[in-house]
């Protein structure tokens, strides 16, 4: 997207950033985060869709104009004195060196130019706020610090509906080709986190969308052009990986899971099935063709354990 279009995006979608009274917190511990994906994500992508069938309303595609590096804004937020003095929280750095997607507690959801569907991608960088066992929630103060840092770095709040891909409240900010999303997990008992700020560049969006399209083309060359929402999730077991793309197409409320697996780096198409539904007992059945693919001895029990 060129600068004129970016101005149009700002004019149409910009919201005033509500500045709240900030106050100082107490000490925070920075630690590396290793996110382990549950096998259940690969089974159906149901945790993402939450039964949503309405059309997804999204912001325009991401601009190709370079924006700030995700690490730049995350470094600034992490170094804020009030963040460092905030007691009761543990701060985790959430970043990804690959296009593997963890879950909707650690992914960026934003459209990209040239693609008809929207999908979730791994963040390049981010921070997650977890309450310490003896901590007291101070979410409002943490949110205020993050919002002020984003505003100071010229990020613009942008409307989009992420409910088809995430169960959590997400607020999107853009600056050039960089997207940052403030995620409120609402129920920390389920996620282990209260909120996060996750960022990705236009380049990482492009890479992930291109990779998803390449996989969809292996299953059906027409699929990428008809898809409306594609939820991607990965499960890893040693050198084995399972990628599940849960696809909802235009004009349909049905979700189909497409499975891809690899022993090294290149995914191969395994097969598909409708998302299992309690309203349809037959949906839990696996076709003979898919059963044969996942039972291949080279996978051991990896695929049969994760596709049920």
Q: Which of 136, 168, 202 is at the close of a domain?
A: 202
Same domain, 124 and 8: yes
Q: Which of 163, 187, 202 is at the close of a domain?
A: 202
CA distance 126 to 272: 33
Does residue 49 lie in a domain region?
no
Same domain, 80 and 196: yes
Task: State which residues form the domain around 30.
Answer: 3-44+57-202
Same domain, 192 and 93: yes
Same domain, 176 and 218: no
Q: pLDDT exceeding 90 applies to what percent of the chain?
A: 51
152-163, pLDDT tens digit by residue? 999 999 999 999
Does residue 52 lie in a domain region?
no
Same domain, 150 and 269: no
Does residue 51 lie in a domain region?
no
82-93, pLDDT tens digit by residue? 887 777 788 888
Q: Which residue has the higher pLDDT, 26 or 129?
A: 129
Q: Which of 163, 178, 202 is at the close of a domain?
A: 202
Same domain, 88 and 107: yes
Does residue 31 lie in a domain region?
yes
Same domain, 80 and 215: no
Residue 36 pLDDT > 80, yes or no? no
Same domain, 295 and 153: no
Does residue 65 lie in a domain region?
yes
Same domain, 194 and 259: no
Same domain, 228 and 266: yes
195-234, pLDDT tens digit by residue? 999 999 999 999 999 999 999 999 999 999 999 999 999 9
Over residues 2-22, mean pLDDT: 35
**Which band of pLDDT confidence, cut at 50, 70 and 90, is reported for residue 63?**
very low
Same domain, 94 and 36: yes
Residue 103 pLDDT > 50, yes or no? yes
Q: What is the pLDDT of residue 265?
A: 74
Mean pLDDT of the chain: 78
Does residue 74 lie in a domain region?
yes
Q: What is the pLDDT of residue 7?
A: 40
Does residue 50 lie in a domain region?
no
Split into its structural domains, the chain has a count of 2
């Amino acid at each position: 997207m060129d600068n004129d279009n970016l101005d149009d995006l700002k004019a149409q979608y910009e919201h005033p950033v509500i500045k709240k009274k900030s106050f100082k917190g107490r000490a925070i511990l920075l630690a590396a985060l290793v996110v382990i994906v549950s096998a259940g994500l690969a089974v159906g992508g149901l945790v993402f869709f939450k039964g949503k069938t309405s059309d997804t309303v999204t912001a325009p595609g991401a601009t190709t104009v370079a924006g700030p590096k995700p690490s730049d804004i995350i470094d600034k937020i992490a170094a804020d004195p009030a963040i460092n003095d905030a007691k009761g929280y543990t701060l985790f750095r959430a970043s990804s060196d690959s296009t593997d997607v963890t879950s909707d507690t650690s992914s960026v959801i934003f459209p990209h130019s040239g693609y008809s569907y929207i999908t979730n991608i791994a963040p390049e960088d981010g921070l997650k706020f977890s309450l310490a066992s003896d901590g007291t929630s101070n979410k409002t103060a943490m949110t205020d610090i993050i919002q002020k840092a984003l505003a100071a770095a010229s990020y613009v709040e942008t409307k989009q509906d992420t409910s088809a891909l995430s169960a959590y409240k997400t607020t999107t900010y853009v600056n050039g080709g960089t997207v940052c999303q403030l995620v409120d997990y609402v129920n920390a008992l389920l996620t282990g986190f209260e909120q996060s700020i996750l960022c990705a560049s236009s380049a990482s969006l492009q890479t992930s969308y291109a990779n998803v399209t390449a996989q969809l083309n292996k299953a059906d060359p027409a699929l990428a052009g008809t898809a409306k929402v594609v939820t991607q999730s990965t499960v890893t077991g040693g050198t084995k990986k399972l990628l599940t793309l849960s696809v909802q197409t235009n004009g349909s409320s049905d979700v189909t899971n497409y499975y891809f697996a690899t022993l090294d780096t290149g995914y191969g198409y395994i097969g598909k099935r409708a998302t299992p539904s309690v309203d349809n007992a037959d949906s839990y059945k696996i076709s003979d063709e898919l059963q044969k693919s996942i039972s291949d001895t080279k996978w051991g029990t990896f695929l049969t354990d994760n596709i049920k």
